[in-house]
Structure 1
Amino acid sequence: MANTTAVHGFELSPIVAGLWRIADWNLDVRQRVRWIEQALELGITSFDHADIYGGYRAEALFGEALKAAPGLRDRMQLVTKCGIRLRAAEKPYRINHYDSSAAYVRAQVEQSLRNLHAEQLDLVLIHRPDYLMDAAALADTFTTLTREGKVAHWGVSNHSSSQFALLHQHHPLVTNQLELSPLQMSALDDGTLDQAQQLRARPMIWSPLAGGRLFTSDDAQALRVRAEMSAVASRLGISLTTLAFAWVLRHPSRPHPITGSGRIESLREAMAALEVQLDAQDWYAIWVASKGHGVP
């Protein structure tokens, strides 16, 4: 099993399993238990959720598996997110909006604990930056829920470097979950990955395969990137999936990429990236293909 890595006393497996689409996998409880066991056997011990995933159903589907096989809980890290009020049949908000108020964060943390049949969440992220966030008040909420033993660590997702810094000055954050892929590279230039290195707070990376666009899109950027990556992958004897994860992992912020597939083979391809030594020229060749021009 791959070793977990600790930063500020916090541990995640090098590759994280994302459960965004678990409701679409159509697995019964026994199959969900087996899927978790197989992920753990590969060395993937961290599982990424959000309260809104799967129309507010994803956590409960995973939790049913943990209830059926309670011994699994001690072998994993549970990550979830809150802060988006998403309209749904049972939640008739006028519009989708963000909420980082103490009452809402507490309510969602406690609901996630019930959904996941867990006594504590290893990591909770504020899912999107709330423009009405009172950083000091939210930090107090973090402190209280940590003191109560409900949440071990806190972080954010999709926050700019200044938004991260504002909250981090009031309460320590262990990660910023960001989008990064050969087709979406803004995190390389917007300061968020620089900040992650500065603070040694390893980022989590969502959509390293660009939501599948890397394999299916026929726009000019995707065609350039796929052609370049296919050539590199062929030379290295690896799959495009493995190369995409290796490209993300090459960044010195030491990111934790998140998978999005229910296929165990896809998880295996992601883990294979840990063995790839991608040199700087191959990394930049993919960057050039994505940008459509050479380095400045």
Structure 2
Amino acid sequence: MDRIRLSDTLEMSRLVYGMWRLSDDADTSPEHVRNKIAACLDQGLTTMDQADIYGGYEAEEVLGNALTPELRNRIEIVTKCDIVAPVGRYADKRVKYYDTGRAHILASVEHSLRLMRIDHIDLLLIHRPDPLMDACETGAALDEVVDSGKVRAVGVSNFRPWDWKLLQASMRTPLVTNQIEISLLHNAPFTNGDVAFHQRHGQPLMAWSPLGGGALFDEGHAKLRARLAEIGAEQGVDDSAVAIAWLLAHPARILPVLGTNRLDRISRIGDAGTVRMDRETWFDLYTLALGHEVP
């Protein structure tokens, strides 16, 4: 599997295994989680995507229970912080909110390290833009966790270009990626400036929900799904692999984040990297997703 360099010290696999549903599985045993990671590693998929809030603040611990020193050394761990929801360790909170203050970031890093039983996080992302963010305080806190060695690299998630520029202007450490929603159905980032901004600066994007949260396969998108299935049949893969290949074909070096608890589906994530996608096919799918031809 291809690898993408995000910084001088961090590379990630082109396809990323998303663990947001890890604690929702009927089987959260360490052995079963290790089997999922092994299925990823068999394909060269080494990057695991977490967040403190996943599973009501439980998914990181499910991963940590499964990690051995050998497994830890073979993977990159991404996690996120700043969402405070009234569940789990924040069950006493009155309302869901964001916290990008220094104390919360430092505490979140410590929680993540403890729950995943690791000594460093490979990539820490600010999960959501915070309307109350003090960029100087947040930027200094991110610099601090990198300087401490507890975090190798930092980035953001769901930021628009102006949010990114505000935070980056207050930091010594470069932000290395922005994880945003991109898919055939959520294709606005290709035209609203989000992809172009990061492409201009050579910053690979991570794409969450690259299959549209499953909506891609609803009856309302029958023509698009039929075309995906047709291309997949021609190349010996399923329709979801073609939808992911559509993202991989873009020159912005997008890293799709794919989440499933089914071992059979995990073992086929890498199929997307085998799909041939020429320009005409790319626009064929784009046209079907838009519902009209391009202007």
Taking the aligned partners of 1:165 and 1:265, their CA distance within structure 2 comes to: 41
- Aligned-pair distance for 1:265? 2.9
Runs of 4 or more consecutive aligned structure 1 residues displaced over 3 Å after TM superposition:
none
Aligned length: 290
- Aligned-pair distance for 1:164? 1.2
Taking the aligned partners of 2:43 and 2:230, their CA distance within structure 1 comes to: 27
Taking the aligned partners of 1:287 and 1:37, their CA distance within structure 2 comes to: 34
- Aligned-pair distance for 1:23? 1.0
Q: Secondary structure at the match of 2:252?
A: coil
Stretch moving more, 284-293 or 5-14: 5-14
2:213 to 196, 211, 214: 211
The equivalent of 1:293 in structure 2 is: 292
TM-score, normalised to structure 2, is 0.94
Corresponding letter in the other structure for 2:177: T
Q: Secondary structure at the match of 2:113?
A: helix
Alignment of 1:215-294 (within 5 A): 215=217, 217-219=218-220, 222-294=221-293
The equivalent of 2:176 in structure 1 is: 174
Taking the aligned partners of 1:127 and 1:78, their CA distance within structure 2 comes to: 15
- Aligned-pair distance for 1:151? 0.6
Taking the aligned partners of 1:246 and 1:118, their CA distance within structure 2 comes to: 33
Render the CA deviation track for 1:118-177: whole Å, top value 9, x for unaligned. Answer: 100000000000011111211111111111111110000011111112212233110000
The equivalent of 2:13 in structure 1 is: 13
Stretch moving more, 127-136 or 25-34: 25-34
TM-score, normalised to structure 1, is 0.94
8 Å CA contact retained: 1:15, 1:259: yes
The equivalent of 1:94 in structure 2 is: 94
Residue 128 (str. 1) matches residue 119 (str. 2): no
Corresponding letter in the other structure for 1:16: V
Residue 145 (str. 1) matches residue 139 (str. 2): no
Render the CA deviation track for 1:254-281: whole Å, top value 9, x for unaligned. Answer: 1111111122332333211112220111
Taking the aligned partners of 2:139 and 2:125, their CA distance within structure 1 comes to: 12
The equivalent of 1:22 in structure 2 is: 22
Stretch moving more, 260-269 or 6-15: 260-269
8 Å CA contact retained: 1:246, 1:273: yes
8 Å CA contact retained: 1:241, 1:269: no
- Aligned-pair distance for 1:218? 2.4
- Aligned-pair distance for 1:31? 1.6
8 Å CA contact retained: 2:3, 2:14: yes
Stretch moving more, 108-117 or 22-31: 22-31
The equivalent of 2:47 in structure 1 is: 46
Render the CA deviation track for 1:207-238: whole Å, top value 9, x for unaligned. Answer: 111111222x223xx22321232233233332
Taking the aligned partners of 2:274 and 2:222, their CA distance within structure 1 comes to: 26
Corresponding letter in the other structure for 1:205: A
Taking the aligned partners of 2:227 and 2:31, their CA distance within structure 1 comes to: 41
Taking the aligned partners of 2:267 and 2:42, their CA distance within structure 1 comes to: 10
In the alignment, structure 1 segments of 5+ residues that lack a partner are none
Taking the aligned partners of 2:287 and 2:153, their CA distance within structure 1 comes to: 37
Taking the aligned partners of 1:140 and 1:54, their CA distance within structure 2 comes to: 29
Taking the aligned partners of 1:124 and 1:36, their CA distance within structure 2 comes to: 20
Aligned residues: CA RMSD = 1.4
Residue 190 (str. 1) matches residue 192 (str. 2): yes
8 Å CA contact retained: 2:28, 2:62: no
Corresponding letter in the other structure for 1:85: V
The equivalent of 1:159 in structure 2 is: 159
The equivalent of 2:104 in structure 1 is: 104
Corresponding letter in the other structure for 2:156: V
Stretch moving more, 204-213 or 115-124: 204-213
Stretch moving more, 71-80 or 261-270: 261-270
Q: Secondary structure at the match of 2:257?
A: strand
Taking the aligned partners of 1:149 and 1:38, their CA distance within structure 2 comes to: 29
Render the CA deviation track for 1:153-210: whole Å, top value 9, x for unaligned. Answer: 0000011111112212233110000111111112112211111211111001111111
Taking the aligned partners of 1:70 and 1:33, their CA distance within structure 2 comes to: 12
The equivalent of 1:65 in structure 2 is: 66
Stretch moving more, 24-33 or 249-258: 24-33
Q: Secondary structure at the match of 1:175?
A: strand
